[in-house]
A and B are shown apart, each in its own frame.
Chain A
Amino acid sequence: MLEFGRFKANTCSGVSRRGFVKTAATIPLALSAGIPSLAEAEEARERAKAKSVLLLWLWGGPSHIDMVDPKPNAPMEYRGPFGTIATKTPGMHFTELLPRLASRSDKFSVIRSMQTSNGGHPGAGTVGLTGYEENAGPIQPNFGSIVSKHQGQIGALPPFFYVGRGIPRDLPRRIEGYGGGTLGKAYDPFLVSCSETGEVGIPTLNMLPGMTPDRIVDRKRLLQQLDATRQQLDSAKIRDWNRSHQSAYGLLTDENARSAFDLTKEDPKTRDSYGQTTFGQSCLLARRLIEAQVPYVQVNWSEYVETFTPNGDFGWDTHIYNFELLQDRHCPIFDRAFSALLDDMYDRGLMEETLVIAMGEFGRTPKISNRASREHWQHCYFSIWAGGGVQAGRCIGESDAKAEHPVTRPITPLMTGTTISELCGIGARERAEMKVLDGGSLIHELL
């Protein structure tokens, strides 16, 4: 099922192809400016080890010590309540919350020495996704914007997708580094949502006033409304409107593109394996987008970091109920979905040319708080890497006895972005030409 605007319609039969072709034809192709030609894009993809990147963005700050870097010998006020289990990687243990991933650790590598410069969510989110602080000058582009600019768009699908409820944010504000930054809004991600039942939504179309199911059935009225909406915008806004809606209508009118969104085409066993959760089905949608040659897909665990708050959607910011939520909700969902994704991607032969990464913006205080929970901790956290030219089965970096600080070389978000770019065939020269990731170095341990 595909949801567009604020309602749902069947992808295959509920959308009038002709109607949307007419609609799209009224809108200039704003996306053509500044984007590599098809030949250039194909050449870039040939050069890259990773043709696509799939980032699982664990928004809110997942607890490293309670997941992949347990310290069973640390003092009680640090180690937490969870037992440890062996993984397939010699000498590496996870907590008991990740049994499926533990049994698949030969398929990925874990970095336990991540470190970032910012301890607040929006700021750390920007650093985590761009490599730079928000106040260090103009907002730098998201790693996905860099990759999508370099790889270019193939077919009707936009080159950079966000799968999630919205742009990552906390209650006060959204992050600045979510999109194109200095590369321009043309390289912002295209947002689609996916429910636990696999219904895909395109929030871009929500801005159309008065859009209701009966109006979408009436194509003439829809066409008139779209024209009227466009004419109401001033010239500054019209380009943004054109871009987002051209992308939306472009993919709605392309059968192959639409097909990527239709999770009903999947074997039910495959859908089940990911879990009938928003994150699980979002991971499956991401795999379909990767299969359709989208260069960069970022699956956002949640829109809000807040883990237990009215209107919050259970992010990883576990200032309260850290142990309960990790055990009851977050880790079982993550363990199942990520494991299924890895199995599925390997089975389909997608991992050789797809880089898959799971990480958040920081970790959580190894010392348990007075509220029996954990706070923000930017000094040490983790990331997981698989496929796309990285070595699997490695435990990279090491934290100290209390998981407070790396005792090996700290791995930073700038290094993360540089390594992603390099694996995607974006060398130092190309990065310099784009004026991105200046000063970044590679995570050699992964290669």
Chain B
Amino acid sequence: MLTRLTICLFLALSPALPVIASEPQRVTTDGTNKRDPHFVSDTEVVYCYDEAPDLIRMMRVNLSGGEPEVVYKDSGDKHHIEPCFAPNGRYVVFTECTGNLTARLVIRDTEKSKDAYITHKGRGGTRSPCFSPASDLVVYAFAETGPQQLWSVKPDGSDKKQVSQTEGISNWPTFTPDGKRIVFSNSRENNYEIYSMNLDGSDEKRLTENSLMDIRPCVSPDGTQVAFTSTRDGNYEVYVMNIDGSNIRRITHTEERDDYATWHPDGKRLVFVGERAGRFDLFLVPVPK
């Protein structure tokens, strides 16, 4: 009886049980400094990488192989980071560095070949934009007057408004598949924790509770799980939890950095940036249930 109780207690209190997962499959091999992978189809991933010591460029790679290709060859000397492609395939949103200390949000309409630029007063930079499942809204992070809040804007650049009103730094918004809630990180509890809330900021729920960072949440296509990065085990590793914050599972197990997890459209696998022998590549790993 005592033994069963001990086991039950252990299982209930263990925050992140190790999960035996398949070995991650390497997607790229060039080893350059990479970030922000994002699926644009079942077979293609867009990511950003250091093309030169002074330039971050957007690339596209096919999971089945082949050489990565530059997405926008005419971007000049402007850094491009954090791309997100709309589910309807029409829009792309990303952050573009246009000058010293200034970065704006670009929402590119690929049907009309037209860009909408989302700017705020003064210098500063937008962060981590994401599209709603209906492709009718972009949510991103920006600090205009102090605490960094979440904002929303329509794909044509209209109707920009602040959607969160909280202390600390909010970042990395991601939609649930029904488009009704946003999962994001906020730092008001002394470090980044993951929360979810309705689009209007109501009904906030805290999903993680840890003394170290829990960042970059990414909701699975079926809306039941959240992948994220945490340093809770000593360095950057990828984890998955249920949408309510329960059943945290550690997905990567290396002494080097694993970060920037994003769901494959099949909802069974993740692509992430893994550091191996000091080099950075994309890896694909199945997520155990």
Contact = CB atoms under 8 A, between A and B. Distances in A.
Contacts of B259: 328
A76 B54 contact: no
B53 A165 contact: yes
A82 B99 contact: no
Interface stretch (B2-10, B132-140, B143-151, B262-270): B143-151
A308 B169 contact: no
B187 interface: yes
Contacts of B280: 276
Contacts of B33: 196, 277, 329
Contacts of B190: 72, 79, 83
A327 B213 contact: yes
B101 A320 contact: yes
B101 A309 contact: yes
Contact of B125 (A195, A308, A313): A308
A79 B167 CA distance: 13
A373 to B, nearest CB: 8
Interface stretch (A107-115, A254-262, A267-275, A342-350): A267-275
A321 interface: yes
A310 B123 contact: no
B278 A273 contact: yes
Contact of B169 (A81, A196, A275): A81
Which of the four size classes fits the interface of chain A? 35 or more
A329 B53 CA distance: 13
Contacts of A309: 97, 99-101
A278 B53 contact: yes
A106 to B, nearest CB: 18
Interface in B11-62: 31-33, 35, 50, 53-54
A43 interface: no
A83 B191 contact: yes
B77 interface: yes
Nearest to A323: B169
B148 A372 contact: yes
A370 B32 CA distance: 33
A312 B77 CA distance: 9
Contacts of A269: 277
Contacts of A165: 53
A373 B213 CA distance: 18
Given A76-B188, A83-B213, A99-B234, A311 B101 contact: no
Contacts of A76: 167-168, 188
B77 to A, nearest CB: 4
A26 to B, nearest CB: 34
Contacts of B93: none
A372 B257 contact: no
A60 interface: no
Contacts of A99: 231, 234-235
Interface string A274-288: 111110100000000
A245 interface: no
Interface in A286-336: 304, 306, 308-314, 319-321, 323-324, 327-329, 332, 336
Interface of A: 72, 76-77, 79-83, 85, 96, 99, 165, 171, 195-196, 268-269, 271-278, 280, 304, 306, 308-314, 319-321, 323-324, 327-329, 332, 336, 368, 370-373
Closest A-B pairs by Cβ, 7 of them: A81-B187, A372-B143, A83-B191, A272-B277, A372-B148, A275-B278, A310-B77
23 contacts: A72-B190, A76-B188, A81-B168, A81-B169, A81-B192, A81-B213, A83-B191, A83-B231, A196-B50, A272-B278, A274-B278, A276-B280, A280-B278, A309-B101, A310-B77, A310-B98, A311-B54, A324-B127, A336-B278, A370-B145, A371-B123, A372-B143, A373-B143
Given A99-B235, A268-B277, A309-B99, 19 more contacts: A76-B167, A82-B191, A96-B191, A96-B231, A276-B31, A276-B278, A304-B54, A308-B97, A309-B97, A310-B76, A310-B97, A310-B99, A319-B101, A320-B101, A332-B236, A336-B278, A370-B145, A372-B143, A372-B148
